[in-house]
């Protein structure tokens, strides 16, 4: 006994020390470089402010060398604006750029898109160029086939050179240029600056030449790269760009963090009030969960985006879900007359399979989102996935060991843990007929709204830029303008600056702020720049953000959206069918998921909410989350079949009993998640409000479908396609104590 207590004290002390060290690391960091500090977490552009842009290479089948050189060239340009900027290849023929913390965004976008000009001019034309006169070019970048750094093998000493190779047209031009300028310099000019001025020694008709006089191989490589880059025939076409003001990003970060803190506090109170001592332990585990999440984001160098931050807030509510399942089991075991120690062991053992199954299905949705999503949606999927993994760890390891340690230290009174008496088996199967009608009406209303809005507005759904393409400008004014004033005073300025019709611009006020969103068809970089300059000249503008998406990429997003939902649903069906060894469980779960998706879709349809990438993230999150409660109920049905069937009970009574036994778990689990998302909706920025609103609807819908639809639906499939049920036909008033 002394050894058990000593080990328990050690467990508590190790936890406290580890939590304190982790919290200190997350707040202050370790060492001079403050390793692990939360402030070092990389912020996405939507939180830090800055510019992101994706280009598509127009030419077919560019070589890897051409693409690599283009990436290097763009990186050199980006480095002039920010050392934190990154350029990377995306897919087979796209290049993406992210530059945080910059201000003159439109100028940057315009500069990055320039192909660059490489020119060879003789001394006479060089003098004309610097004098501002018209001049002739001997060769251009398109005449160069290749340029490479090397060492002159013919020289007695080490001599670094750049070897040039010309194409057929360039060979002829270069022969003429060198023949006319023997003893003179030919100036190599890139983007208006001289990068080299070698002296011509002789006429060179062979189509290849050397530039010598390099100090080292690094200088030779720089010159060769500049010439190669200037010679690229690649043309870059803007697919999408996003400009976020730093103030807007910081406001989003601040308000979302506050929402998360309040959400944690409310969830902590609920857990302590409902589950007593285990609730206190779950709060400690939740603190560990938050610290671990911050450290993991740092360790993985994950870029934290606004949707990603929302994913963390959402996963806070989900983090206590496993604890709710375990603690409800413990209360049931104590209510059935078992001792506290046996109840704790049984609670964790019986809840394990349900916790694993429910979280793995949510992870499936997160993985699909990550691999098929783009931009900020990847950030949401990453933080959601990290949150799910950490929530299982904290519940199954930290909570379990702390709870057992406190028991061994003397906290053994059953009143500290609560108890749950046998529940009355409500006839959910009978009510399911009404539930089916309610659901049918809700889904039908959403579908009927589609052709109605199509006739009124020309679009069945309120697609945003990600699905339609176009330009959106979010402008924060120092003064407030209502919609009427904005349309009368600001709209004409935008239309004139962009040289477009006023009818092409939509105006939307952002409630509770001085922000106004202007949406129109796709504008060029010069048009966007003109609009920003006009607004800043005529009005007091504090922040200016722009998002531009071409119709090409918006069409791809629509296809990926449909495909991602389909893939996630199929993978979940396969997993559930394998785990429950009965395809009817999988079929019932997928029907319920389809129900939840269609009900939330009806909210988007009727409420005219914005449909884009966050819509897909919302749908897949709902799919992953709502199946949690379904799996908990299915797990209890599977367990009760082995116990109650031997007593002659029929499947209908087993379903009603199982739903009744898990009802409080469904309510409390949904409540904790709903609270965190609700706080996010109340306090969050506009960009996240619609996301939070539909998540709340999905949480409520998921709880409703799990209780009222999935179990009865499984029963219907079981009776139709399974063996004939020979059990008792009556419904007893009490659920089995052993269940």
Question: What tens digit of pLDDT does each residue of 382-413 get?
Answer: 877 888 888 889 988 999 999 999 999 989 99
Encode pLDDT of 645-693 as tens digits: 777 788 899 999 999 988 888 888 888 888 888 888 888 776 677 778 8
Residue keyed to tokens 């912020």: 43
439 close to 602: Cβ distance less than 8 angstroms: no
Return the percentage of the chain with pLDDT > 70, whole number.
88
Same fold, 45-115+238-243 and 553-721: no
pLDDT at 531 over 70: yes
pTM above 0.85, yes or no: no
pLDDT score for 282:
92
How far is the C-alpha of 291 from the C-alpha of 401, rounded, in Å? 18
Joined together, the tokens standing for residue 2 give: 């002394």
Q: What is the pLDDT of residue 376?
A: 62
Q: What is the CATH number that goes with domain 118-231?
A: 3.30.1360.200
Q: How many CB atoms lie within 10 A of CB 117?
A: 13
Please compute the mean of the pLDDT values over residues 529-541 and round it to a whole number. 89
The CATH class, in words, for 553-721 is: mainly alpha
- What would the mean pLDDT of 279-300 be, rounded to a whole number? 88
Measured CA to CA in angstroms, residue 264 lies from 276, 287, 317, 626, 662 at distances of 17, 9, 8, 21, 24
What is the residue extent of each domain of the chain? 2-19+244-416, 45-115+238-243, 118-231, 470-549, 553-721
pLDDT at position 732 is: 44
Per-residue pLDDT band for 571 (boundaries 50, 70, 90) equals confident
Distances (CA, A) of 518 to 521, 547, 551: 10, 11, 18
pLDDT category at 288 given cuts 50, 70, 90 is very high
Strand 470-477 and strand 541-549: the pairing is: antiparallel
Minimal CA–CA distance to 713: which of 441, 447, 435? 435
Query: CATH says 2-19+244-416 is which class?
Result: mainly alpha
**Helices (DSSP H) in 499-650: which residue ranges?**
525-538, 551-580, 583-607, 613-644
CATH 3.30.70.3400 fits 45-115+238-243, yes or no: yes
Q: Of the candidates 484, 471, 464, which has an alpha carbon nearest to the alpha carbon of residue 519? A: 471
Q: Which residues pair with 50 in a beta bridge?
A: 100, 244
CATH 3.30.70.2470 fits 470-549, yes or no: yes
Residues 451-480 have pLDDT tens digits of: 998 888 778 888 776 677 788 888 889 888
Q: Give the start-end residues of each E strand in 60-199.
A: 86-90, 94-100, 118-122, 139-140, 144-151, 160-166, 186-190, 193-196
């Amino acid at each position: 006994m002394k050894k058990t207590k000593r080990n328990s004290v050690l467990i508590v002390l190790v936890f406290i020390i580890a939590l304190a060290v982790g919290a200190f690391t997350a707040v202050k960091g370790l060492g001079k470089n403050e390793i692990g500090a939360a402030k070092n977490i990389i912020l996405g552009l939507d939180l830090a402010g800055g510019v992101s842009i994706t280009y598509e290479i127009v030419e077919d089948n560019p070589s890897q060398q051409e693409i690599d050189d283009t990436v290097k060239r763009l990186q050199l340009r980006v480095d002039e604006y920010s050392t934190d900027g990154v350029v990377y290849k995306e897919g087979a023929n796209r290049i993406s750029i992210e530059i945080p913390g910059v201000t003159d965004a439109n100028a940057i976008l315009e500069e990055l898109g320039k192909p660059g000009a490489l020119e060879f001019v003789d001394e006479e034309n060089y003098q004309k160029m610097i004098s501002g006169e018209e001049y002739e070019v001997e060769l251009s970048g398109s005449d160069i086939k290749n340029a490479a750094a090397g060492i002159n093998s013919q020289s007695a000493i080490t001599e670094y050179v750049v070897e040039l190779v010309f194409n057929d047209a360039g060979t002829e031009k270069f022969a003429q240029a060198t023949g006319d300028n023997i003893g003179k310099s030919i100036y190599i000019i890139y983007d208006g600056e001289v990068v080299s001025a070698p002296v011509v020694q002789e006429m060179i008709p062979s189509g290849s030449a050397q530039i010598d006089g390099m100090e080292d191989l690094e200088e030779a490589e720089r010159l060769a790269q500049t010439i190669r880059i200037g010679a690229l025939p690649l043309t870059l076409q803007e697919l999408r760009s996003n400009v976020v003001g730093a103030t807007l990003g910081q406001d989003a970060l601040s308000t979302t963090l506050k929402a998360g803190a309040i959400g944690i506090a409310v969830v902590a109170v609920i857990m302590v009030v409902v589950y007593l001592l285990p609730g206190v332990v779950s709060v400690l585990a939740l603190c560990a969960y938050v610290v671990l999440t911050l450290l993991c984001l740092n360790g993985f160098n994950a870029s934290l985006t606004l949707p990603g931050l929302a994913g963390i807030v959402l996963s806070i509510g989900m983090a206590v879900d496993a604890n709710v399942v375990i603690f409800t089991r413990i209360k049931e075991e104590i209510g059935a007359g078992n001792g506290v120690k046996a109840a704790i062991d049984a609670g964790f053992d019986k809840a394990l399979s349900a916790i694993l199954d429910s979280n793995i299905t949510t992870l499936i949705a997160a993985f699909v989102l990550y691999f098929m999503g783009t931009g900020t949606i990847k950030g949401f999927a990453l933080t959601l996935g990290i949150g799910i993994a950490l929530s299982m760890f904290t519940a199954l390891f930290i909570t379990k060991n702390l709870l057992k340690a406190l028991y061994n230290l003397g906290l053994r009174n059953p009143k500290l843990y609560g108890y749950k008496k046998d529940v009355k088996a409500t006839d959910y199967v009978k009510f399911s007929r009404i539930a089916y009608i309610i659901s049918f009406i809700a889904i039908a209303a959403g579908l009927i709204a589609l052709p109605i809005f199509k006739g009124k507005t020309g679009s069945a759904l309120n697609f945003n830029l990600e699905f339609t393409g176009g330009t959106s400008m979010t402008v924060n004014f120092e003064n407030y303008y209502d919609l009427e004033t904005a349309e009368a005073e600001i709209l004409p300025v935008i239309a004139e600056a962009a040289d477009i019709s006023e009818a092409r611009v939509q105006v939307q006020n952002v409630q509770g702020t001085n922000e106004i969103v202007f949406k129109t068809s796709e504008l060029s970089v010069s048009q966007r720049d003109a609009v920003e300059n006009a607004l800043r000249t005529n009005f007091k503008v504090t922040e200016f953000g722009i998002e531009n998406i071409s119709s090409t990429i918006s069409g791809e997003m629509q296809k990926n959206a449909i495909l991602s939902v389909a893939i996630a649903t199929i993978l979940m069906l396969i997993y559930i069918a394998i785990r429950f060894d009965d395809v009817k469980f999988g079929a019932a779960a997928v029907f319920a998921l389809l129900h939840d998706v269609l009900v939330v879709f009806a909210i988007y349809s009727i409420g005219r909410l914005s449909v884009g990438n966050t819509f897909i993230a919302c749908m897949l999150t709902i799919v992953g989350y709502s199946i949690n409660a379904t799996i908990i109920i299915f797990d209890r049905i599977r367990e009760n079949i082995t116990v109650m069937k031997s007593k002659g009970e029929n499947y209908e009574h087993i379903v009603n009993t199982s739903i009744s036994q898990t009802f409080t778990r469904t309510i409390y689990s949904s409540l904790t998640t709903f609270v965190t998302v609700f706080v996010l909706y109340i306090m969050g920025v506009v960009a996240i409000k619609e996301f939070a609103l539909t998540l709340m609807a999905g949480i409520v819908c998921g709880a409703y479908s799990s209780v009222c639809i999935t179990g009865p639906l499984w029963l219907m499939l079981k009776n139709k396609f399974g063996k004939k049920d020979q059990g008792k036909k009556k419904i007893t008033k009490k659920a089995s104590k052993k269940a």
